[in-house]
Homo-oligomer: A and B are copies of this chain.
């Protein structure tokens, strides 16, 4: 069995951290642990520079053909002024939408070795292990109308539309309950039903689904603003948080920052399993961005990218043991005292991107 992977390193530190993933894939292949067929292409600003679009049709075709996509990061000041439709982010959004990757899993895990690098008190974040499940193909991100209208008299009107249909809420809800069953069996659903009609529907659909099919899982509803507060106050109260695309964008970033390990956090964006083959589309990417300030310096932390590969091994290929082994290798590399600059602290040994990638491979 050979797994077809498309690598889309993107911009900024993307290519550097993707290199470390390529090393690990090469090692697994050579050691006979798994066999990969790699494709690679441009996305984001890099694709714009080459083709005038944030992703080419050819790269999209490769994404459709792949078993999974490994994505670095896109964007940077260089492309701040390019037209909206071809801005770097458009490449990522097109991939999410066309591959129908509606379920975005963002684990917020606090590595023991890094608990002190959080801005929160150690006792608040030590041992933290929560999962933000973000709806990724609906809501304000994709609803129509989405436009700027010229009203004359120097006035313009900016419009975005939040749209959610029952089935969209239900399918992400199912993923939430299923994941909770493999964890601590609790789902917190966040919306603003006191202000938004989509929030009213969201709440209603979650409640029904729970009653019908998942009564064994604890379901809690929380307003998204209160939820943001609770995340900062005492995040360990949560297990799985399920929320819409825009709230999920903000809340998963808050959760990521709690752990003090932004450069460490992976994410998985999954489609629905094919009813016949059981296969599903998937894209894996770090939660962090392109870090233009350190791009090209060999300083970036590759761990989030490597941990994204681990999620890929688990969720796309069912290689659970290999995924766990890779995750343990990351934890051990940290325990051994190695740190990239972003997580450096007194008494530790600073290494670069390559150094950290090599250390993970050594511990593997």
**Residues of A at under 8 Å CB distance from B?**
75, 84, 87, 89, 93, 119-121, 124, 140-141, 143, 146-148, 151, 154-167, 192, 194-202, 224-226, 228-229, 232-234, 246-247, 249-251, 253-254, 256-258, 262, 289
A247 in complex: contacting residue of B89, B158, B160, B250, CB < 8 Å: B250
How many whole Å from A187's CB to the nearest CB in chain B?
19
Pair A166/B156 contact, Cβ less than 8 Å: yes
In the assembled complex, the Cα of A289 lies from the Cα of B229 at a distance in Å of: 12
A155 in complex: contacting residue of B160, B165, B234, CB < 8 Å: B165
Pair A200/B84 contact, Cβ less than 8 Å: yes
In the assembled complex, the Cα of A256 lies from the Cα of B232 at a distance in Å of: 10
What 4 pairs between A and B have smallest CB-CB spacing?
A158-B201, A158-B198, A232-B257, A160-B162
How many whole Å from A201's CB to the nearest CB in chain B?
3
Which B residues touch A121, using CB under 8 A? Answer: 119-121
Which B residues touch A93, using CB under 8 A? Answer: 195
Pair A249/B234 contact, Cβ less than 8 Å: no
Which B residues touch A195, using CB under 8 A? Answer: 89, 93, 140-141, 246, 249
Pair A229/B201 contact, Cβ less than 8 Å: no
In the assembled complex, the Cα of A160 lies from the Cα of B163 at a distance in Å of: 7
A163 in complex: contacting residue of B157, B198, B246, CB < 8 Å: B157
Pair B234/A253 contact, Cβ less than 8 Å: no
Pair A166/B162 contact, Cβ less than 8 Å: no
A254 in complex: contacting residue of B75, B196, B201, B232, CB < 8 Å: B232
16 CB < 8 A contacts A-B: A84-B197, A89-B194, A119-B124, A120-B120, A140-B162, A147-B197, A148-B201, A155-B165, A155-B166, A158-B163, A158-B165, A158-B202, A159-B161, A160-B162, A229-B253, A229-B256
In the assembled complex, the Cα of A250 lies from the Cα of B192 at a distance in Å of: 10
Task: Evaluate whether A165 and B157 lie within 8 angstroms (CB atoms) in the complex, with A200-B148, A224-B250, A253-B225 already known.
Answer: yes
How many whole Å from A278's CB to the nearest CB in chain B?
26
Task: Evaluate whether A254 and B233 lie within 8 angstroms (CB atoms) in the complex, with A148-B197, A195-B140 already known.
Answer: no
How many whole Å from A130's CB to the nearest CB in chain B?
15
In the assembled complex, the Cα of A89 lies from the Cα of B202 at a distance in Å of: 18
In the assembled complex, the Cα of A190 lies from the Cα of B26 at a distance in Å of: 42
Pair A161/B158 contact, Cβ less than 8 Å: no
Pair B247/A229 contact, Cβ less than 8 Å: no
How many whole Å from A74's CB to the nearest CB in chain B?
10
In the assembled complex, the Cα of A141 lies from the Cα of B195 at a distance in Å of: 6
How many whole Å from A144's CB to the nearest CB in chain B?
11
In the assembled complex, the Cα of A63 lies from the Cα of B106 at a distance in Å of: 45
Which B residues touch A164, using CB under 8 A? Answer: 157-158
In the assembled complex, the Cα of A200 lies from the Cα of B262 at a distance in Å of: 27
In the assembled complex, the Cα of A247 lies from the Cα of B251 at a distance in Å of: 11
Which B residues touch A146, using CB under 8 A? Answer: 196-197
Which B residues touch A124, using CB under 8 A? Answer: 119
Which B residues touch A155, using CB under 8 A? Answer: 165-167
Pair B249/A192 contact, Cβ less than 8 Å: yes
Known: A148-B201, A158-B201, A195-B246; 18 extra A-B contacts, CB below 8 A, are A75-B194, A120-B232, A143-B159, A154-B166, A155-B167, A156-B166, A157-B165, A158-B163, A158-B164, A158-B197, A160-B196, A224-B249, A228-B257, A232-B232, A232-B257, A233-B257, A250-B251, A254-B254
